Amino acid sequence: MTGQDGALSGQDSSQAEMMSEMCILVDSSDSRIGSDSKLNCHYAEGKLHRAFSVLLFDGDGKMLVQQRSHDKITFPSIWANSCCSHPLDIPSENEHPSKGAINAAKRKLSQELGVSDIDISNIEFRHLGSFLYECRWDEDWVEREVDHVIVGITDSIDVNPNPNEISDVRWIAGHEIDEMFSGSGIWEGEVIAPWFRLLWGEFIADHYPNVDKAPIVEGVVNFGEVSMGGQAVIPGEKLMTAIGTHREYVESVIMGSLSKMKQERLHGAMKHLFTGGGKRLRATLPRLVGEAVGTAHEGHYTLGASIEIIHNFTLVHDDLMDQDPIRRGLDAVHVAYDDSTAINAGDAMLAVAFEILAESPHIEQDKLAFLVRSIGEMVRNVASGQQEDISFETRESVSEDEYIEMIKGKTSVMFETCAGTGAILAGASDGVVDNMKNWGLNLGLCFQLMDDLIDITGDTETLGKPAGSDIVQGKKTLIAIHALNCDDDMPAFTEAYGSGECSEDTLSNAVKELHDSGSIGYAKERAMHHHSLAHQCLDNIEDGPALDILRELTDFQLIRIN
């Protein structure tokens, strides 16, 4: 990918100049959170910003469509609605979302289509709502917008398109509109803007030609990431494909390693959790990192198997300590067997994990000491984090810093170790190894903070456990720590927190109080901070398909990979 400093090299000068305009940054609910240049909003990963789309209709129901200029930096030459652009961070456009979008639309109708001030004043503008989408044009440019839909009704209007913005315009109606979206007739081979397809289907299609009667849609309609054709892009599809490619190999190493145990009952207990499936993220992560920063090889499967076996050893003991009866849809090992066997199985799994590292012909001896030391340190930190978590249950107060340190041990250190050991085994330099360890650490912190958020904001069916269980169990999550130190009156949260059980209404009100107090927002802000730091680490790695997988993982884990 071209560096950002050279992103505009070779581009049309007028279009490049407009890339310095300041767009309005928003969150997913369209609340303004700042501003940034048009360049930064559209380059590389982009930034979520406010936009608008105008659809002009004349008295006969004909709609004006435009072909974007061939000189456009983003989405050149494609056909779109009458006018589409961005409100700017200026007083007339940044104070009220819908009014600001209409003011911006009037400005761009003049600048893009050459519509006179008199004609603009005679247009009846209606704001129908807004929608969020993301669509990538190429590896450099992307749209990430909350797009405000504006319909304009006019008896007559003269247009004089700016050729630097628009290559062609047409007035179309009825079957011509159907042909445009189906790609038939004169539209065969033409590309239609994805946002145009989305807004037409959501806001206009069911009400055409009576668009003046189209209802206002409340809230922000969230389409997520879409393809150029407007279809939803499955989050993490490339990542899941990559994990699936390596899962079979690492599974064979895992099961072969556990077969070292010849005592039948103990062997059954050791492999019990592995029969419950799972994505094997930790098992494949060293290989994914190795492919991104160096030379990946068979040793990465052994390394991944070692860390995955250790991960499952910690789950066996955690379930026993917490007396949790279910894991991955199966009886926990201490339930399927007994407490003593569960302890013994965990101990044996830890031993096997180190044994297979030492025996692997694919791991160089000069790297073995680093791997053993790193994984040993990981186990020690996981145990320390688990003990801190246990101590939190009986403490009246826990600080934010103490909580972050605890989840570093319980969750983040395993991601950190997968990344660091995967890099060293691939022959990466010390600097790259440290960089990838930092990536893994921040990935893990974001993972756990998002997990805490999902427990409270998710639904019971998706979670597989009661939503809000962390509240009723009185867990010292970052959300709870913020709420407990908040001056707001939170009666429902006070009643529900640590109660063991409460009514659905009380729990629902408690969640609302956590939203209103800013506790949920604060935790999400902290999660996104670590998400940003993780991406900054990846910025230091050479671009390529393998790095794209790690970027997808950094984003996809926001919607929870267990």
> What are the pLDDT digits (tens) for 149-203?
999 999 888 999 999 899 999 999 999 999 999 999 999 989 999 999 999 999 9
DSSP-assigned beta bridge partners for residue 142: 136
Report the pLDDT value the prediction gives residue 298, as an integer from 0 to 100.
Answer: 95
Question: Among 43, 41, 44, 66, which residue's Cα sits nearest to residue 53?
Answer: 66
Query: DSSP letter string over 504-531?
Result: HHHHHHHHHHHHHTTHHHHHHHHHHHHH
Q: Which residue has the tokens 């029969």?
A: 275
Report the pLDDT value the prediction gives residue 557, as an integer from 0 to 100.
Answer: 58
Place 6 in a pLDDT band, splitting at 50, 70 and 90: low
CA 282 distance to own-chain centroid: 19
Mean pLDDT of 340-368: 96
Report the pLDDT value the prediction gives residue 245, as an integer from 0 to 100.
Answer: 87
> What are the pLDDT digits (tens) for 60-111?
899 999 999 988 888 899 999 999 999 999 999 998 999 999 999 999 999 9
Mean pLDDT across the chain? 90
Where do you find CATH 1.10.600.10 in the chain? 237-559
DSSP state of 109: H
> What are the pLDDT digits (tens) for 8-25?
555 667 677 778 899 999
Residue 529 pLDDT greater than 70, yes or no: yes
Say which range, 14-18, 246-250, 258-262, has the weakest mean pLDDT: 14-18
The model carries a pTM of: 0.63
Place 59 in a pLDDT band, splitting at 50, 70 and 90: confident
Residue 464 pLDDT greater than 60, yes or no: no
The answer to whether domain 15-225 has CATH 3.90.79.10 is: yes
For 127, other C-beta atoms within 10 Å of its C-beta total 18
Is residue 448 within 8 A of residue 407, CB to CB? The reply is yes
Query: Which CATH homologous superfamily contains domain 237-559?
Result: Farnesyl Diphosphate Synthase (1.10.600.10)
Report the pLDDT value the prediction gives residue 3, as an integer from 0 to 100.
Answer: 41
Residue 560 pLDDT greater than 60, yes or no: no
- Percent of the chain at pLDDT > 90 equals 70
Report the pLDDT value the prediction gives residue 4, as an integer from 0 to 100.
Answer: 47
**Helices and strands, counts by H and E, the chain:** 24, 12
Residue 463 pLDDT greater than 70, yes or no: no
Residue 344 pLDDT greater than 60, yes or no: yes
Mean pLDDT of 316-340: 90
Residue 7 pLDDT greater than 60, yes or no: no
Question: Among 206, 84, 63, 187, which residue's Cα sits nearest to residue 135?
Answer: 84
Question: Among 21, 19, 20, 49, which residue's Cα sits nearest to residue 33?
Answer: 49
> What are the pLDDT digits (tens) for 188-241?
989 999 999 999 999 999 999 999 899 999 999 998 888 888 877 666 777 888
Token pair in block for residue 221:
């309609």
Token pair in block for residue 46:
């982009």
Is residue 196 within 8 A of residue 81, CB to CB? The reply is yes
Is residue 442 within 8 A of residue 332, CB to CB? The reply is no
From the number of C-beta atoms within 10 Å of its C-beta (0-12, 13-18, 19+), residue 274 rates as: middle
Where do you find CATH 3.90.79.10 in the chain? 15-225
